[in-house]
Amino acid sequence: MDNNDKNNVKWFRNAAPYINAHRGKTVVLMFGGEAVLHENFANIIHDISLLRSLGVKLVLVHGSRPQIEERMKRQSVTSQLENNVRITDAETLSAVKDATGSLRIHIEALLTMGLVNSPMHGSQIRVSTGNFVIAKPIGVKDGVDYKHTGSVRRIDTVGINTQLDYGSIVLLSPIGYSSTGEVFNLSLEDVATQTAISLKADKLITFTEQDGLLDKQGQLVRSCDVSTVKKMLLENSDHARQLLMRAIIHSGESGVERCHCISYQNDSALLQELFTRDGAGTLIAKDYKEQLSTASIDDVGGILELLAPLEAEGILVKRSRELLEVEIERFTVIKKEDVIIACAALYPYPESNTGEVACVAIHPDYRKGNRGVRLIAALECVAKKQKFASIFVLTTVSGHWFQEQGFIEETMENLPDGKKQLYNFQRKSKVFIKKI
Ligand SMILES: CC(C)(COP(=O)(O)OP(=O)(O)OC[C@H]1O[C@@H](n2cnc3c(N)ncnc32)[C@H](O)[C@@H]1OP(=O)(O)O)[C@@H](O)C(=O)NCCC(=O)NCCS
């Protein structure tokens, strides 16, 4: 295996917890008409099909501003803007329908034939479009009639979810229909935001020409919360950026846990953002605190990933997937962004009034952050609830760390009988006990 192969294998292993975390999640992708025009769009389409094949439920919302401008110019229709909003008269609406319809067909075609000669050759994507967006007119504001310019009234979430459950990708355009049968010109941001909120999407991913959201110095902000985006909005006078930031703020404040902002020009941005720890653009999380909880069956894959290197080094005893599945409720995990970064387990010995602390593992990138201490405290709580008098641990290399947590070195004679019989003399683990 050459170095390149080794790097690929490493990348794949590192991506595995994220693949687990994203499966079955609903993700809304928002991209403007300029992204579709860019040469990298074909690569984005390949990555979208890859995400679909990994079980991510996808709703694509496309814009068509440059295409509408171009169509209006060709048809000599003059653009009327009021407060940066296009007033859609009958002629403009005709250009909007032409441009948006053509673009939608273009994207559908790419999603269908984009797979030939691509890394996803052979897979079939079903695209679903339709009257999923119900619109209402903006009406007359400050004496200005916005005519066929509208806003989202309702998203047909049942219709969209049915398509997603069938495995289709849903494609939405910035056009909506009213209950009176009229057609309305909508903004991309309004459709994407309302769709993400109504579907209770797990993520809204926005594509932009820059690498993500930039600070005042023009540096990429890797992660922040919604209140930071609000501050950025006040400092930014670019209309397109303001629309993007407002969409992120509104989504974040209305329950969409994570919004991402990535570049449509960067070939690897989408995959990097979703499958690597550092991502490629900006992650805006409502709350990106870590969570400590009892593990469930869905966590087995993540725990195996975390333990594998430590088992390979001989620091932990190897556990099979089957065993882990049976014992999963004994594990406590710490998750960040739905990915397991730390775990520990408590194996009860009720007949001896004690419990064994095992499998304490913190991902190397997250060590020295008190997570080990938090996990031991959580296990102590579990042990106290079961009225145990102590907890114990067998370790080959981390004795000092456990001593710092209040454990005292003892001989194996002090182990519960059930454990003594299983003691592995070859490992020569040391025994530490903590009274609780
Ligand atoms: C041991 C381990 C659980 C500690 O987790 P953690 O979250 O990094 O720990 P904390 O932040 O609570 O404490 C960090 C301190 O412990 C120290 N420490 C880490 N491993 C240690 C070890 N084997 N021996 C002595 N001290 C150790 C660190 O150097 C650090 O001290 P410092 O800040 O003074 O430099 C973690 O390093 C780990 O996962 N190790 C590999 C697996 C393992 O050994 N598990 C135990 C067997 S069951």
pLDDT of residue 433: 97
> Where are the domains positioned within the chain?
3-285, 291-435
pLDDT of residue 123: 65
Terminal CA-CA length for the chain: 50
- Where residue 353 falls (left for φ over 0; alpha for ψ -120 to 50; beta otherwise) is left
Report whether 61 contacts 172 (CB < 8 A): yes
Q: How far is CA 147 from CA 140, 180, 350, in A?
A: 8, 14, 74
Ligand 1 centroid distance, CA of 335 (Å):
18
Atom of ligand 1 nearest to the CA of 368: 11
pLDDT of residue 366: 87
CA 306: distance to chain centroid? 19
Domain 3-285 has CATH 3.40.50.150: no
Ligand 1 centroid distance, CA of 388 (Å):
25
Q: Is 150 in the pocket of ligand 1 (CB under 6 A)?
A: no
Ligand 1 centroid distance, CA of 401 (Å):
6
DSSP letter string over 214-252?
Answer: B-TTSPBP-EE-HHHHHHHHHH---HHHHHHHHHHHHHH
Ligand 1 centroid distance, CA of 357 (Å):
15
For 8, list phi and psi in degrees, rounded to 5: -65, -45
- Give the right CATH number for 291-435 from 2.40.50.100, 3.40.630.30, 3.10.450.50, 3.40.50.10470: 3.40.630.30
Q: Is 398 in the pocket of ligand 1 (CB under 6 A)?
A: yes
Ligand 1 centroid distance, CA of 8 (Å):
29
Atom of ligand 1 nearest to the CA of 371: 7
Alpha carbon nearest to ligand 1 atom 36, residue: 362
Mutate to test the pocket of ligand 1, among 398, 400, 432, 434 (most ligand atoms within 8 A of CB): 398
pLDDT of residue 337: 73
List of E strands, 203-349: 203-208, 223-224, 258-263, 282-285, 291-294, 331-336, 339-349
Closest CA relative to residue 203, chosen from 143, 145, 288: 288
Helix, strand or coil, per DSSP, at residue 281? coil
Q: Is 315 in the pocket of ligand 1 (CB under 6 A)?
A: yes
Mean pLDDT by 10 residues, the chain (436 residues): 78 82 94 96 92 94 96 90 90 96 94 63 81 95 91 97 96 95 96 97 96 89 88 90 95 92 95 86 79 92 94 90 95 89 96 96 89 92 93 94 94 91 82 95
